[in-house]
Structure 1
Amino acid sequence: MTDLPLLGAALPVAALETYQDFILSEDRDLELQDFVNADLLNDGWQAVADHARTLLQGYKGRLGIHGPFWGLNIANPDADLRAVITGKYLMGLQVCEHLGATQMVIHSPYTTWDFNNLDNFADREAYDRVLENCHKTLEPVVRRAEQIGVTMVVENIEDKDPDIRRILADSFGSAAMAVSVDTGHAHYAHGSTGAPPVDYFIRRAGDRLHHVHLQDADGHADRHWSIGEGNIGWHGVFRALGELTVTPRLILELRDKAGILPSVARLNQMGLAR
């Protein structure tokens, strides 16, 4: 069953020491998680990145990072705060360049409140304002990403509308912007806010989908459980993935890293991935 999709993982560099053989043996996709930490970006990220490079000697897989996001809403309307946010994302790209990473995960600005209220204004005024703020924040970042060959993938967080991030990414007209789907976030939105199910999020992203966070959940909260602990319909998710003409990175993003190998085994037993 070697034609099954190959699973990767999201790991801090400290855990990469444990899962080094798992990643390197088949050059699995890898997402390094350390660089979400603003304090680390401000001071000390080079040492962490250099340790990762040492552990990844000979690695030929697709490497990415999770970019900074805590408190960094890319649609922030305040020009002073936008300047700080832009700077943090440029720092994330500096990490990518240092590592040779080709992808950086960023977070969607859209909330449940947005879904219920953006149409509460005439002529799509509120939609346009969000896009305008995102462009003011990210245009320098997108230009830099283009220069160094990094694609930023916009991950759903509270998104109830499965199309809205694709519209945001497409509005930049750049190969440096694409879409991510987090299965647990989509399942939370489905169970708690009435969003479509997870496989619909995959289909609606279509070939703009370059990255997937795989985690199981119960539809109530952002669980990041191992595969099989929640109630996501995995056959439907992988059926939708199989319809794509692109090959997104399939990243197991689990709270308990000990669940990575059992999750791979579970999806393999289901005949879905390896």
Structure 2
Amino acid sequence: MKISVSTLGLYPAKIENVLNFVTEQKLDYLEIINEYPYNSVTSDDLNSYDIGLSIHAPMSDVNISSHIYKIRNISVELMIDSFKTANKWGADRVVVHPGSIPVMALKYPEKILKYNIESLIKCQKAAEDYGVMMCVENMPLIERALYTNIEALFDDVDSKLHSGITMDVGHGHNNGFTEEEMLQSDNIHHIHLSDNDGSYDMHDALGSHDIDFPKIFDILKNKKYDDICVIEVNTLHDVYKSIDYLKKINVL
């Protein structure tokens, strides 16, 4: 099992400082969110470090299921740009968020669900073309978000998308799913780790609330999971706390 950390808790540090931090903490992987200030990172910035990478495609101001064609189209293009970047960097996992239902499309949910699938199918084909795995992420309990229900995500990946899944355990817990329910799909090839008390998507340090992380890692061990688990918390302080917690439970 590979433990990584997201730039979410490290930005706006310069990329060289981020890479030095990962090295100092003896982590082998880093997940780079492909938005400012890291959307201008080049292979030259990365080549002198022996660190594995994954990419989180842009989340801000995008909606791959928008009922406005130009917004939907440019959102898909931005996902594909992340696949291109992953190919250049040798990162074989790219996290992609599903779309959401626009305010002015609340009366047409089926149309938005159709757009979401169509866009993700385009993204999956592009990911295959660039030799990377798209891992679609489950969403927290927020208004109009798609794939808050992990069963819907599991079903769509099985029957329509044939992609990977990013299981965000904080999002799953926020939606009331158990650790066993969250990890039942064999299509899970990427995991985001953060903690919360179930009330909202806090992205707090591991071990600070009520997610049962020892159980999560036991399940993953029994499933022989050998992909990346990313510490995705909001602050540097919580990154340190999470690393210490993983050492305490003998994961690191």
Which TM-score applies when normalising by structure 2? 0.80
* C-alpha contact (below 8 Å) 1:24/1:56 kept by paired residues: no
Matches of 1:201 and 1:81, distance apart in 2: 31
Q: Does 1:7 align with 2:3?
A: yes
Q: Does 1:163 align with 2:154?
A: no
Q: 1:145 aligns with which of 105, 127, 141?
A: 127
Partner of 2:77: 87
Q: CA RMSD in A?
A: 3.1
For 1:15-48, what per-residue CA distance to the aligned partner results, in whole angstroms no more than 9, with x for missing partners?
6534535534756222102x145xx7xxx93xx3
Query: Where does the alignment leave 5 or more consecutive residues of structure 2 unmatched?
Result: 141-146
Shift of 1:110: 6.6
* C-alpha contact (below 8 Å) 2:63/2:71 kept by paired residues: no
Q: 2:41 aligns with which of 45, 49, 52?
A: 49
Query: Where does the alignment leave 5 or more consecutive residues of structure 1 unmatched?
Result: 112-116, 118-124, 191-195
Q: Given the superposition, is the C-alpha separation of residues 270 and 58 from structure 1 closer, same or farther in structure 2, using an over 3 Å criterion?
A: closer
Q: Given the superposition, is the C-alpha separation of residues 13 and 172 from structure 1 closer, same or farther in structure 2, using an over 3 Å criterion?
A: farther
Q: Given the superposition, is the C-alpha separation of residues 110 and 245 from structure 1 closer, same or farther in structure 2, using an over 3 Å criterion?
A: farther
1:105-116 alignment to 2 at 5 Å? 105-109=95-99
Corresponding letter in the other structure for 1:235:
P
Corresponding letter in the other structure for 2:48:
Q
Matches of 2:61 and 2:19, distance apart in 1: 31
Partner of 1:193: none
Matches of 1:265 and 1:212, distance apart in 2: 19
* C-alpha contact (below 8 Å) 1:166/1:178 kept by paired residues: no
Which TM-score applies when normalising by structure 1? 0.74
Partner of 1:28: 28
Bigger shift: residues 13-22 or 158-167 = 13-22
For 1:144-179, what per-residue CA distance to the aligned partner results, in whole angstroms no more than 9, with x for missing partners?
2112111111111134432211222233454xx210
Q: Compare the two structures and name the one with the higher helix fraction.
A: 1
Shift of 1:184: 1.4
Aligned-residue sequence identity (percent) comes to 22
For 1:214-256, what per-residue CA distance to the aligned partner results, in whole angstroms no more than 9, with x for missing partners?
1111111211111122221112221222232442310001111
Count of residue pairs the alignment pairs up: 239
